[in-house]
Structure 1
Amino acid sequence: MTIAPDNAQQGASHLYRTMRDFVQSMDDSLPGKFEISKEGIVHDMMSPVKQHELTVLRVRKRLEKVMPEEIVAHTGEPDVEDESEGILRRPDVMVIAEADMEGDGTFDPRTLVAAIEIVSNSNPDNDWADKVRDYPLMGIPIYAIFDPRTATGAVLTDIHTTPDGPRYANRKDFVYGEDVTIGDWTISTDDLPHYQPIGR
């Protein structure tokens, strides 16, 4: 009889629920955004700057111009959650069918067409490393990254199995000014804002 795996699973599940309760209690009382990654709680303490929010807005509007009406580029809540993996994330933009937004609770990550992140000046590794690991674990088929620090980005696709777990097999880099294709839709990256150098 094997007890350890079940106990380990129960322990991991209990730890995740504890972290989830903490994140929910802190969301309205502390500045910044709380998420749960495969490594634990992530707290981006900085409020999003104007360039970040303007990028979110422009990417969302450009996508919604070219997508069919039943697909939306959603910003905001609720979170995307995979309890079995112990991950709770809130992408800057979620490409999802409007019908999959119905009901209560968090979004099922496997209903997302794509997750889009605008890199934070204060915590770029969260977008370029942690979410590159977490999103394929959650089954999100496309992950697009826009980086206002460098005016570059990447679209990651094609989840495949590796010894370290599911990972994206393909990465297509782009620079601002080029068109970028996310799923079935191509948008311009012209006029996306850049972060000002720190200290200016």
Structure 2
Amino acid sequence: MTIAPGNARQGASPLYRAMRDFVQSVDDSLPGKLEITKEGIVHDMMSPGGPHEVTAAHVSRRLERVMPDELLAHNGTPDVEDEPEGIMRHPDVMVIAWTDLNVEGSIDPRTVIAAIEIVSRSNPDNDWVTKMRDYPLMGIPVYAIFDPRTGEGAVLTDIHPTPAGPRYATRKDFVYGEDVTIGDWTIPTDDLPLYDKGSGEQR
């Protein structure tokens, strides 16, 4: 849900900075996560734990089993920020080098090798629509989506220019149970949890 609409575009850095200051001041006191998009501040009401967090942990661990030691599949803080674009995102998992993570403040999106999102029940368009737009704008070369609502996902790559701005040119869909390639690494997707259609709990 967008709770603070605005025009966080290039040239509007005072507005973007005001939104960023607001997000940082309340981020620890609200459930879910707050991010800044082109439309303003988005509040994604993720449920703590459950299929969302379990999926992120599985994906992170499976990637780290096959990646070189100098990389990690990080699912903690900080944010990934592109101030000129007016975007601040917080991927559920990001593939990044240890040296690029070892910085003060936000992560430079152009050091992120891949961003991975687990679709939330409360705001699926945040992952399937706005992040599909924002991540190529930020220069993140690979975007992978895992959707516990349906047991499906997609990997988007090959940023190319369009009249609406940079977009991913290639999309490879997958269903849970298939192997999926994220960047240079292939992992299984079996045994990932799904949202229960009634209660929102893991099944």
Superposed pair shares fold, TM > 0.5: yes
Distance 1:89 1:75 in 2: 13
Matched residue, 1:52:
52
Equivalent AA in structure 1 for residue 172 of structure 2: K
Instruction: Give ranges in structure 1 of 5+ residues lacking alignment.
Output: 1-7
Distance 1:104 1:199 in 2: 40
Considering only CA atoms, is the larger Rg found in Structure 1 or Structure 2? 1
Q: Does structure 2 conserve the Cα–Cα contact (< 8 Å) formed by 1:73 and 1:95?
A: yes
1:9 Cα offset (Å): 4.9
1:44 Cα offset (Å): 1.2
Distance 2:15 2:63 in 1: 37
Q: After superposition, where does 1:38-49 map in structure 2 within 5 Å?
A: 38-49=38-49
- Percent of aligned pairs with the same amino acid: 73
Distance 1:121 1:89 in 2: 18
Equivalent AA in structure 2 for residue 29 of structure 1: S
Matched residue, 1:108:
108
Q: Does 1:25 align with 2:25?
A: yes
Matched residue, 1:123:
123
- TM value normalised by structure 1: 0.93
Equivalent AA in structure 2 for residue 182 of structure 1: I
1:29 Cα offset (Å): 1.8
Equivalent AA in structure 2 for residue 148 of structure 1: P
Matched residue, 2:5:
none
Q: Does structure 2 conserve the Cα–Cα contact (< 8 Å) formed by 1:48 and 1:120?
A: no
Matched residue, 2:191:
191
Name segments (4+ residues, structure 1) moved above 4 Å.
none
Matched residue, 1:177:
177
Count of residues in Structure 1 that have an aligned counterpart in Structure 2: 192
Q: CA RMSD in A?
A: 1.3
Matched residue, 2:62:
62
1:189 Cα offset (Å): 0.3
Q: Does structure 2 conserve the Cα–Cα contact (< 8 Å) formed by 1:73 and 1:96?
A: yes
Instruction: Give ranges in structure 2 of 5+ residues lacking alignment.
Output: 1-8
1:31 Cα offset (Å): 1.8
Equivalent AA in structure 1 for residue 160 of structure 2: H
1:46 Cα offset (Å): 3.7
1:26-76 deviation per Cα after TM superposition (whole angstroms, max 9, x unaligned):
101222210001111000134334111110111000000000000100011
Q: Does structure 2 conserve the Cα–Cα contact (< 8 Å) formed by 1:78 and 1:105?
A: yes
